Amino acid sequence: MNLPEIIKNSEAYVAERFPVEKMSYSAMVVKKEVPVHRLSWAYYMGGLALFFFGVQMVTGLLLLFYYQPTVSDAHASVEFITDHVPGGSLVRNMHAWASSMMIAAVMVHLLTAFAMKAFAKPREITWVTGVVLLGITFGLGFTGYLLPWHQVAVNATKIGLQSVQEVGQYLPGAMAEWPRIVKETIQGEAAVGQATLSRFFALHVIILPLAMMATLGLHLLSVQLHGMSRGIDGPPKRQEKFFPTFFIKDLTVWGFAFIILFVIALCVPFESLYSYPLFEPFNPKGSTPDGIKPEWYFYFLYYPLELLPFWVILVGSTVLGAVLMGTPWIFQNTSRKTLQILTVLAALYLFVMTVFGEQIYHMFKG
Amino acid sequence: MVDAFFFVGLPYLAIVICVAGCIWRSRYDQFSMSARSSQFLEDGKLLFGSLPWHVGIITILLGHLVVAVVPRVWSSLMVIPAVLFGVEALGVCCSLLAIAGLSALIVRRITDARVQAVTTTMDLVVVVLLMAQIVIGLLSSITFRYGAAWSAGTVVPYFWGILTLQPEMAHVTGFPMLFKLHIIGAWVLIALVPFTRLMHVLAVPLGYIFRAPQLVLWNNPRRRREAVDATARAESRRDFIKGAVGIAGASGLLALGVSEKVVTYFKGPDPDPEAESALLQKKLERLQQTAEERQLELERQRVEMILVARYIELDAAKGKYFIDYAMAPGLAFKGKNGLPLLISAKCTHLGCTVGSQVNAEGQIMCPCHVSYFNIVTGQPNPGAPAKLPLPHLAWALVDPSGNVVASGLPGGEVEGTPSPELLAQCSLYITKPRHSA
C-alpha cells in the first residue's frame, strides 16, 4: 500500500467512527433510541458510573478545602474533617463509599458491554476508551488510598509499588534495574514519603480526573453518535426514545443510587470494615501491622498474587490487559452466546475472588 | 367572670353546638354539606384567591394541630434556633399568603355578579370572621414573638384541659388582649362550622388527588365535541403538575439539606478552646515527628557513624529497631558470641518491616506475607514468599572515651575482641557503608 492509500483508508476509518453528519442535536439526542429487551438494565450501568464520578467530583472538591497533603498534616487533617468539620464525616464517607460503588458499576458495565458485544464495529473506539477509563478509575482508587496517610494506606501503597520493582527479576541484564527506576520515579524518592504523597495527590486530584474527563468526553461522544448497541441477537421488543423516556429513567436510577449511597454513608463508616490500629498515623519506625491489604476491588489481583508465583500473575495480567484492549478485534467474529458464557465465567471469578479471596488464601496457606 | 365565660363556657358551648350541629346537618341536610363551589360561575380570579388561601391556611392549621397533638416533640424541635426561626418565618409567610388569597376571594365575591347571586349572608360573616381571625393571629405572632415555642406550654395544656373536662383557664387568662381575641375567635368559628360552608373542612377531598380527572362542561353538542380534547389536556396537565410538584418538592428538600450542610461545611468547625488546643498540640507533635525524620535523613547523609543503642540495651531474643543508612528499618540483637548482630528489617519480598521478636528457631517474621528470616544467616525459610536473605549491616562499638574497640562488616568479619567489662560500657553505632564503585 502506498502512502496516499494509507491516508485515505485511515480517513475512512475515522470517518466511520466519528460520522460528522451525525454530530447534531437532532441525531444525537432527539432521534436516538434505546432498545428494550431482557438485558436493557445493562444500559443503565455506564450512566450509573458517570453519576458516581459526579459524586466523587463534588465530594472530592469539598474535601480539598480541608485536606493537607503533607506527611505531618495529612492524617491530622483527615481526622479533622472526620471529627470536627460539620458534615465532614458524611462528605468523606460518601467519597469513600462512592469510590467503591463507582468501581463496582464500572466493572458491571465492562462485563455487560462485553456480553452484549457492544464493542462491535463501529464501536471500537467506545470500547477502547472504556478500557482506558477503567484503568484511570483503578488509578484513582490506588492513588486515593494513600492520601489519608495511615498505616494501611502507606503500607499497602509500598507493597503495590514494590510489585512494580519485582518485575525486574525476570528482565535480562541491565534491564533488570529498569522497574526499580520506574518505581522510584513514581514514588519520587527511595522510600514512600513526602514526594510520593505530593505526586499521588497531584495524580488523584488533577491529572487523573482531567484525563478521565477527556477520555469520558470521547467515550460519551461515540456512545451518542452510534446509539445504544442492540445487545441481543434477535430483534428487540421495541425501541424507546432516549430523550426524554430513557433519560428520565436514568435520572430515576441515579436518584435511587444517591439515596442508597447517602444512607450507607450516613450510617456505616467506611473504616468500620477494618480493624482500628490500621488507621493510626503511619509510623516509619514501627513494624508493619497485621492485616495490610488493598481495597476490595484489587482482591481479584491481590489474592492470586499471594498464592501464585509472581510471574504467573505478571503474564496473566499482561495478557488480560492486551485482551481487553484488543477485544473489538479479537472477538469480532465471536457469537454473543460465547461472549455471554465468557462473561459469566469472568463474573464468577471476580465474585469468588472478591468475596471468598481471604478464605481461599487461608485454605492454601494455612 | 368574663374570662370564665369566654375561656370555659364559650368553648363547651362551641364544641356542643359544633358536634350536635354537624350530626344534625349530616343527617337532615346532607346535600348542603359542601364548600358550595362557585368555580362553575367564575373560573378566572378563583385560582388566585382559592389556591394561596388554602395553601396558607392549611399549613398554618397543620402547625396548630401538630403542636396540640405532640407538644413535647414540638418543643424539643423548637429548642434549635434555626428550626424555631424557620417555623416562625414559615408561619408569617403562610399567614400573608392566606390574607392575600382571602382578600382576592373577598374582592371576587363582591364584584362578580354571578358569584354575588349565590352569596349568602353567612358566607360574608364567615369570610369577615376568618379575615379578622387570621389578621389577629398574625399580629399576635409578630407582637409576641416565638409563639411556636411558648404555645406548647400554655395554650396546649389549656386546650387539653377543655377536651379532658378539666378546664384550667389560668393558662390563658394572663394573656394579652390580642391573643385572647385570637382564642375567642377560634371558638366562635368552631361554633359556626355546622351553619356555614366551613363544614367542608370535615370532608377533606383527598380522593381528588388520586381519582381520574373530571371535567364539568356545559352540555351542548359543540362542548361535547371539545370534551375529548379538553379531557386529554386536563389529564396531561394533571400528570405534569403531579410530576412538577414531586420534582419541585424533592429538589427543594434536597437543595435545603445540601445548602444547609454545605454552608456549615465551609464555615468550618467552631471548637471550644480546649478542643482547639488539643488539635494544635496534635499537629505540633506530628510536625515534630516529621522534623525528627528529616533530621535522621540529614544525619545519615552527613555523619559517618550513628548511635543505635548502648550495648547493655541489646537482647538476644528481642531486637531493637533503628533506621539504617538507607532510611530503612534495621534490628539490633546481641549475637551468640556476645557481639552485636545488626540486620536489615526491610523484608526482601515487598518491603514490609520485619517483626523484632526472635522465635525458638532463631528467626524473625515478616507479618505481611509470613516469611521467617534466620537472624544469623539472614536467609528466609524455604518456601517463604521472600527469596533473598536480609542483609547484615556494618557496626562499630565505641568505648566511653570515643575509641572504636570493635567493628563488624556485613560479611561477618569482626575486628577487635573487647573484654566483657569493656563491652558493657560501650555504645553501638552503625557505620556508613563504603560505596564500592
Q: How far apart are CA B166 and CA B162, in angstroms?
A: 6
Question: Minimal Cα–Cα distance from B184 to chain A, Å?
Answer: 46
Task: Mark A161-177 as b/e (b = at least 16 C-beta within 10 Å).
Answer: bbbbbbbbeeeeeeeee
Pairing of strands A33-36, A238-241: antiparallel
What is the pLDDT at residue A350? 94
A211 grid coordinates? 484525563
Residue with cell 533503628: B322
Measured in degrees and rounded to the nearest 5, phi and psi for residue B373 equal: -115, 130
Contact A141, A269 (CB under 8 A): no
DSSP lists the bridge partners of residue A36 as: A238
pLDDT of amino acid A276 = 65
**What is the fold of A45-298?**
Cytochrome Bc1 Complex; Chain C (1.20.810)
- Higher pLDDT: B352 or A120? It is A120
- Which chain B residues are closer than 8 Å to A80 by Cβ? 269, 279
- In the predicted structure, residue B128 carries a pLDDT above the cut 70: yes
Indicate whether A346 pLDDT > 60: yes
Nearest Cα neighbor of A253 from A51, A12, A15 is A51
Query: Could you tell me which chain A residue has the CA closest to the CA of B291?
Result: A72
Instruction: For residue range A228-240, list pLDDT tens digits in order.
Output: 888 888 888 889 9
Band of pLDDT at residue B436, cut at 50, 70 and 90: very low
- Asked if pLDDT for residue A277 goes beyond 70, the answer is no
User: Is A73's CB within 8 Å of B267's CB?
Assistant: no
Confidence of residue A133 (pLDDT cuts 50, 70, 90): very high
Q: What is the mean pLDDT of residues A263-292?
A: 79
| Grid coordinates given for A366 | 494455612
- The pTM is what? 0.71
Averaged pLDDT score across all residues of chain A: 90
A residues 236-295 lying closer than 8 A (beta carbon) to B: 281, 284-290, 292
A84: pLDDT strictly greater than 70: yes
Report cis status (omega within 30 of 0) of the bond before A122. yes
Cβ–Cβ under 8 Å, residues A114 and A342: yes
The per-residue pLDDT for B309 is 87
Residue in chain A closest to B285 (alpha carbons) equals: A72
Least confident of A277-291, B6-20, B114-128: A277-291
pLDDT in tens, B369-421: 788 999 888 889 888 878 888 888 888 888 888 888 888 888 777 887 778 78
- Cα angle A137, A140, A141; round to 5: 90
Q: What is the dihedral of CA B272, B278, B281, B287, to 10 degrees?
A: -100
Find the residue in A nearest to B269 (Cα).
A85
* Sheet bearing B305-310, strands edge to edge: B305-310, B427-431, B395-398, B404-408, B414-415
Name chain A contacts of B286, Cβ cutoff 8 Å: 72-73, 75-76, 281
- Mutate which: B364, B368, B388, vs A, most A CBs within 10 A: B368
Out of B283, B326, B367, name the one closest to residue A288 (CB). B367
Asked if B384 and B372 touch (Cβ cutoff 8 Å), the reply is: yes
| pLDDT mean across residues, chain B | 87
SS3 A238: strand
Residues 6+ apart with CB under 8 A from B46: B38, B39, B105, B108
A86 to chain B: nearest residue by CA? B265
- Collapsing DSSP to helix, strand or coil, A195 comes out as helix
pLDDT tens digits, residue range B54-83? 999 999 999 999 999 999 999 998 888 888
pLDDT-based confidence at residue A286 (cuts at 50, 70, 90): low
In this model, does residue B245 exceed pLDDT 50? yes
Q: What is the pLDDT of residue A115?
A: 94
Task: Give pLDDT tens digits for B147-166.
Answer: 888 888 889 999 999 999 99
State residue A287's pLDDT score. 67
Instruction: Classify A118 as helix, strand or coil.
Output: coil
Q: Which helix (H) or strand (E) holds A278?
A: none
Determine contact, residues B192/B16, Cβ cutoff 8 Å.
Answer: no
Question: What is the per-residue pLDDT for B437?
Answer: 39
pLDDT at A285 over 70: no
Contact A85 B265 (CB under 8 A): yes
Total beta-carbon pairs less than 8 A apart between chain A and chain B: 91
The two beta strands, B414-415 and B404-408, are antiparallel
For residue A287, what is the nearest residue in chain B, using CA coordinates?
A: B353
Task: Break chain A into its structural domains and give their ranges.
Answer: 45-298
ipTM above 0.85, yes or no: no
Percentage of chain B beyond pLDDT 90 is 29
Select from A254, A287, A307, A308 the residue whose CB has the most chain B CBs within 10 Å, as the one to mutate to test that interface: A287
pLDDT at residue B210 is higher than 80? no
Q: Which residues pair with B344 in a beta bridge?
A: B330
**Helix (H) or strand (E) run with residue A11 in it:** helix A3-17
A92 and chain B: CB distance < 8 Å anywhere?
no
Residues belonging to chain B with any Cβ–Cβ distance to chain A shorter than 8 Å: 261-262, 264-269, 271, 275, 279, 282-283, 286-287, 289-290, 293, 321, 323, 326-329, 345, 349-356, 366-370, 385
Q: Please, what are the domains in chain B?
A: 2-218+225-238 (1.20.950.20), 300-431 (2.102.10.10)
Q: Reply yes or no on whether the pLDDT at B218 is more than 90.
A: no
Between A74-78, A120-124, A212-216, B382-386, the lowest mean confidence (pLDDT) is in: B382-386
Name the more confident of A169 and A154.
Answer: A154
The amino acid that residue B340 corresponds to is P
pLDDT in tens, B311-344: 888 888 888 888 888 888 889 998 888 888 899 9
> Which secondary structure element, helix H or strand E, spans residue A271, and what is its range?
none
Q: In chain B, whose CA is at the least distance from the CA of A366? A: B370
Q: Give B90 to chain A, closest Cα distance, Å.
A: 25
Q: How far apart are CA B435 and CA A20, in angstroms?
A: 63
Which chain A residues are Cβ-neighbours of B385 within 8 angstroms? Answer: 306
Q: In three state form, how does the secondary structure of chain B look? A: CHHHHHHHHHHHHHHHHHHHHHHHHHHHCHHHCCCCCCCCCCCCHHHHHHHHHHHHHHHHHHHHHHHHHCHHHHHHHHCCHHHHHHHHHHHHHHHHHHHHHHHHHHHHHHHCHHHHHHCCHHHHHHHHHHHHHHHHHHHHHHHCCCHHHHHHHCHHHHHHHHHCCCCCCHHHHCCCHHHHHHHHHHHHHHHHHHHCHHHHHHCCCCHHHHCCCCCCCCCCHHHHHHHHHHHHHHHHHHHHHHHHHHHHHHHHHHHHHHHHHHHHHHHCCCCCHHHHHHHHHHHHHHHHHHHHHHHHHHHHHHCCEEEEEEHHHCCCCECEEEECCCCCEEEEEECCCCCEEEEECECCCCCCECCCECCCCCEEEECCCCEEEECCCCCECCCCCCCCCCCECCEEEECCCCCEEEEECCCCCEECCCCHHHHHHCEEEEECCCCCC
pLDDT at residue B435, rounded to an integer: 60
- Smallest CA–CA distance, residue A179 to chain B, in Å, is 14
Return the minimum-mean-pLDDT range out of A198-207, B116-125, B208-217.
B208-217
Note the pLDDT of residue B133: 96
A290: part of which helix (H) or strand (E)? Answer: none
Mean pLDDT of B290-318: 86
Q: In 3-state terms, chain A is what percent helix, strand and coil (to 5)?
A: 75, 5, 20
